[in-house]
């Protein structure tokens, strides 16, 4: 196969940059990383064939700087730019600037992004395509007619039209809170996205977040690669995603696929995209938005469909046609992804930058880890706290949950608090095991988390320290002097008494030794 | 010597249950396998020699191992802090100061927000650990700070 491009610049960082570079390598394409001051030694820089500095640490002066990114692409002679997710991936202005520079933007045409990137415009597009949207406004909050909102009933959600990642969202429980919530959402949206337009929709609860993965080419072919459930969320941000969605009636599944196809066909679409819906208790479907980019959770769909979405995104950008295999792909088995963030679940999921200590990831049958970090890495405070995505694939959902539990037990992360502890708790929750959870799950069932040293955990942790103390030879603690720093906790010589003790035990068990 | 050490989680003494052994330790990375019969826990061990953090199933559990002498010293220090509370409010995480919510001379109550720090795209409020009067504001909006940086100094309220 002739590589679709000779050289691609990956305008992102962290795990997604590495994911795209891996696809490039398999396609025979040279990859070029970009990096800011904070990312000079970042793993994504080393994963690429070459790397270009694009500016200081703040994202606005580097990863979000259109001129800097396009300048880097020009310098290295890249033919195409892959934006990943976040940063410039949904900026129609960026897509246009890439095209104007004579380069290929790996994504849909700029005009498609203009029509869908704005959530309000996307709602109007869906309505015109005959797809139900959540009840609410089709115009900005300030332009609503009197009484229009009261007719919807409370609670309502105020959302930023340019929003994403859960920012610029406010819940309103009564009329007296409305004006303040609109103002607050407007300010947050203005600060985060440079656009303070907000709109209002009815809060649908209980509901699940279900989304459909699409892949289209420039020749009018569209593959619907099935749906994902992403109902385990905190702060309106996803923590766990799975494919297919559990406990959905076949007609709901088909309806979601048909709705997604209808929205995509209403716009000139190619590349990868996701159409997001809410599904309520009666399995009514409500269109939320369409994301015209790669999603963080694309991997679970890759696992069940067997389609390499990133590779095809690149091939389609070069004008290739989707193969018959891709167009006919049907999901096999069940896949679940958990997101490992440097956040403390016991502290309201607050981000916890710092230096990463130990980093042991699981492997073996049915495991995939898309990571962007390594042991000892100083996590920059300027960017997203996502460390890695742990995915499992198994023949059915029960087996996938069992495999996920096994995988989490093989995972060890030191230095900073992470969401690992939340996920380990999650896989023992009956509602999750049975797939009955909805969007309220984290708030109602996790709350602020069970006591850290609950049950076995405290006893076992105490036993660790006791075992270390018991094995330490008498005398000064010189050997541990350098250990106060996180991540370098124990002496390096490998001949401490407790390792010797373990070896002695092993020999005892196996007389052949 | 080990016999006089006590193991604490928070303020609570924990008698480590018998039967647990460290099956192996990777001293380079501080990863170990804790085992009891058919139970296994992969753990990360950090810190020491008295204050440890044991990460088990993703839970970072602070464990203190100390002698009676250490304990007496710690109790004395804790008593001093409890009487007056800490007067230095330090950054609990690195990031960018986006807002300073108090001015020198302001009276604050325990729990009042003092400074907002943005880290990893999230805004975090640093709150007053106790009642007091702001005697110094050591940071300004736009300033990048490291963990442990002095943010605000509190003085006692006039009696």
| Whole-angstrom distance, CA of residue A424 vs CA of residue A411 | 10
- Give phi and psi for A407, each to the nearest 5: -65, -45
Name the minimum distance, in Å, from the CA of B154 to any CA of chain A.
24
Q: Name the active-site residue from A123, A293, A368, A397.
A: A293
Using alpha carbons, select from A43, A74, A125 the residue that is nearest to residue A369: A43
Chain A residues lying within 8 Å of B29, measured CB to CB: 357-360, 375, 414
Tell me whether residues A474 and B1 touch, CB distance under 8 A: yes
Parallel, antiparallel, or unpaired: how do β-strands B21-26 and B132-137 relate?
unpaired
A455 sits in which H/E element: helix A455-471
Q: Identify whether the C-beta of residue A263 lies closer than 8 Å to the C-beta of residue A290.
A: yes
Non-local (6+) Cβ contacts of B60 within 8 A are A417, A421, A452, B53, B54
Residue B156 makes CB contacts below 8 A (sequence gap 6+) with B84, B132, B133
Tokens 């700087």 locate to: A65
Q: What is this structure's pTM? A: 0.86
Distances (CA, A) of A294 to A85, A271, A385: 6, 9, 18
Q: Is the previous residue joined to B49 through a cis bond, with omega within 30 degrees of 0? A: yes
Whether the bond between A244 and the residue before it is cis, its omega within 30 degrees of 0, is: yes
Q: Which of A174, A334, A141, A369 is nearest to A248 (CA)?
A: A334
Whether B63 and A465 lie within 8 Å, measured CB to CB: yes
Residue A293 falls in the annotated catalytic set: yes
Q: Is B57 on the interface with A (CB under 8 A)?
A: yes
d(CA A103, CA A402): 46
Nearest to A358 among B31, B58, B119 (CB): B31
User: Is residue A341 classed exposed, middle or buried when 0-12, 13-18 and 19+ CB atoms within 10 A define those classes?
Assistant: buried
The residue-averaged pLDDT of B141-153 equals 91
Nearest to A353 among B34, B54, B93 (CB): B93
* Tokens encoding A275: 């159409």
Prediction ipTM score: 0.84
Interchain proximity B29–A383, CB inside 8 Å = no
Q: Does B90 touch chain A (CB under 8 A)?
A: no
Please indicate if any CB of chain A lies within 8 Å of the CB of B142: no
For residue A58, the SS3 value is coil
Cβ contact B156:B84 at 8 Å: yes
Q: In this predicted structure, what is the pLDDT of residue A497?
A: 45
| Chain A interface test: which of B43, B67, B121, B123 (most A C-beta within 10 Å) | B121
* B16 confidence band (pLDDT: 50, 70, 90): low
Contact B48 A409 (CB under 8 A): no
Is the Cβ of B69 closer than 8 Å to some Cβ of chain A? Answer: no
Q: Where are the alpha helices (DSSP H) in A158-286?
A: 175-193, 250-265
**Number of neighbouring beta carbons within 10 Å of residue A475:** 8
Mutate to test the interface with B, among A381, A384, A455 (most CBs of B within 10 A): A381
Q: pLDDT tens digits, chain A, 513 residues: what are they? A: 789 999 999 999 999 999 999 999 999 999 999 999 999 999 999 999 999 999 999 999 999 999 999 999 999 999 999 999 999 999 999 999 999 999 999 999 999 998 887 888 899 999 999 999 999 988 888 777 777 888 888 999 999 888 776 777 889 998 889 888 888 888 888 887 788 899 999 999 999 999 999 999 999 999 999 999 999 999 889 999 999 999 999 999 999 999 999 999 999 889 999 999 999 999 999 999 999 999 999 999 999 999 999 999 999 999 999 999 999 999 999 999 999 999 999 999 999 989 999 999 999 999 999 999 999 999 999 999 999 999 999 999 999 999 999 999 999 999 999 999 999 999 999 999 999 999 999 999 999 999 998 878 898 999 999 888 765 443 333 333 333 333 333 433 344 445 555 555 655 665 554
A425-451, pLDDT tens digit by residue?
999 999 999 999 999 999 999 999 999
Q: Do B40 and A488 touch (CB under 8 A)?
A: no
Sheet of A198-202: strands edge to edge? A167-172, A156-164, A198-202
CA neighbor of A296 nearest in space, from A353, A265, A340: A340
Q: Name, in order, each residue with C-beta under 8 angstroms of B129's C-beta and a sequence gap of 6 or more.
A: B85, B86, B89, B110, B154
Buried b (16+ CB within 10 A) or exposed e, A487-497: bbbbbeeeebe
- Rounded Cα distance, B97 and B109, in Å: 21
**Closest Cα in chain A to B54:** A461
Average pLDDT on B116-139 reads: 89
Give the model's pLDDT for residue A489. Answer: 39
| E strand map for A188-270 | 198-202, 207-216, 222-234, 237-243
Token pair listed for A65: 């700087």
- Is A492 in contact with B43 (Cβ distance < 8 A)? no
* Residue contact A464–B43, C-beta within 8 A: yes
Identify whether the C-beta of residue A381 lies closer than 8 Å to the C-beta of residue A400: no
State whether residue B139 sits within 8 Å of chain A by CB: no
Q: How far is A395 from chain B (nearest CA, A)?
A: 25
Q: Are A309 and A213 in contact (CB under 8 A)?
A: yes
Interface contact A466-B124, CB threshold 8 A:
no
How far is it, in rounded angstroms, from Cα B13 to Cα A471? 20
């Amino acid at each position: 196969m002739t590589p679709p491009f000779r050289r691609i610049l990956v305008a992102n960082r962290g795990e997604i940059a590495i994911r795209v570079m891996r696809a490039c390598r398999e396609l025979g394409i040279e990859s070029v990383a970009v990096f800011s001051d904070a990312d000079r030694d970042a793993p994504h820089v080393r994963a690429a064939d070459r790397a270009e500095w694009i500016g200081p640490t703040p994202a606005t002066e580097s990863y979000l700087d259109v001129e800097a990114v396009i300048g880097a692409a020009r310098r290295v002679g890249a033919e195409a730019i892959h934006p990943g997710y976040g940063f410039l991936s949904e900026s129609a202005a960026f897509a246009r600037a890439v095209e104007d520079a004579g380069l290929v933007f790996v994504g849909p045409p700029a005009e498609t992004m203009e029509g869908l990137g704005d959530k309000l415009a996307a709602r109007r597009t869906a309505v015109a395509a005959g797809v139900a949207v959540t009840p609410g406004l089709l115009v900005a909050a300030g332009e609503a007619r009197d009484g229009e909102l009261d007719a919807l009933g409370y609670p309502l959600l105020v959302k930023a039209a340019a929003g994403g990642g859960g920012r610029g969202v406010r819940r309103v429980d009564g009329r007296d809170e409305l004006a303040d919530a609109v103002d607050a959402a407007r300010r947050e949206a203005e600060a985060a996205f440079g656009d303070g337009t907000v709109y209002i929709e009815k809060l649908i609860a209980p509901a699940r977040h279900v989304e459909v993965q699409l892949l289209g080419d420039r020749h009018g072919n569209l593959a619907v690669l099935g749906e994902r459930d992403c109902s385990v969320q905190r702060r309106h941000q996803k923590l766990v995603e799975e494919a297919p969605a559990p406990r959905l009636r076949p007609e709901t599944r088909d309806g979601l696929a048909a709705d997604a196809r209808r929205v995509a066909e209403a716009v000139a679409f190619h590349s990868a995209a996701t159409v997001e819906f809410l599904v309520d208790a009666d399995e009514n479907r409500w269109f939320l938005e369409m994301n015209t980019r790669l999603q963080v959770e694309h991997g679970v769909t890759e696992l069940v469909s067997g389609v390499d979405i990133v590779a095809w995104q690149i091939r389609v950008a070069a004008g290739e046609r989707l193969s018959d295999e891709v167009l006919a792909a049907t999901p096999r088995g069940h896949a679940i992804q958990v997101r490992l963030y440097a956040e403390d679940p016991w502290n309201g999921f607050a981000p916890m930058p710092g230096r990463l200590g130990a980093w042991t990831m699981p492997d073996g049958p049915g495991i995939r880890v898309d990571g962007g970090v390594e042991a000892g890495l100083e996590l920059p405070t300027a960017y997203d706290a996502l460390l890695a995505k742990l995915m499992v694939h198994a023949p059915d959902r029960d087996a996938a949950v069992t495999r996920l539990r096994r995988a989490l037990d093989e995972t060890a992360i030191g230095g900073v608090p992470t969401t690992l502890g939340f996920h380990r708790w999650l896989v023992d929750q009956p509602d999750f095991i049975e797939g009955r959870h909805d969007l309220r799950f984290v708030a109602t069932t996790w709350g602020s988390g069970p006591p850290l040293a609950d049950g076995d955990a405290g006893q076992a942790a105490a036993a660790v320290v006791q075992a270390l103390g018991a094995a330490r030879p008498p005398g000064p603690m010189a050997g541990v002097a350098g250990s106060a720093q996180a991540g370098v906790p124990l002496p390096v010589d490998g001949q401490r008494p407790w390792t010797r003790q373990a070896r002695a035990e092993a020999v005892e068990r196996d007389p052949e030794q | 010597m080990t016999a006089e050490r006590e193991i604490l989680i928070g303020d609570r003494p924990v008698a480590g249950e018998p039967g647990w052994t460290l099956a192996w330790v990777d001293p380079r990375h501080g990863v170990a396998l804790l085992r009891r019969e058919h139970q296994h826990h992969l753990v990360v061990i950090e810190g020491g020699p008295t204050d440890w953090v044991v990460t088990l199933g993703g839970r970072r559990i602070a464990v203190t191992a100390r002698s009676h002498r250490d304990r007496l010293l710690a109790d004395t220090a804790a008593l001093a802090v409890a009487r007056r509370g800490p007067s230095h409010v330090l950054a609990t995480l690195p990031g960018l100061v986006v807002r300073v919510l108090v001015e020198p001379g302001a009276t604050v109550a325990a729990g009042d927000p003092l400074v907002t720090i943005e880290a990893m795209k999230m805004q975090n409020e640093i709150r007053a650990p106790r009642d007091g009067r702001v005697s110094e504001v050591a940071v300004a909006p736009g300033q990048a700070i490291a963990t442990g940086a002095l943010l605000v100094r509190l003085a006692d309220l006039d009696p």
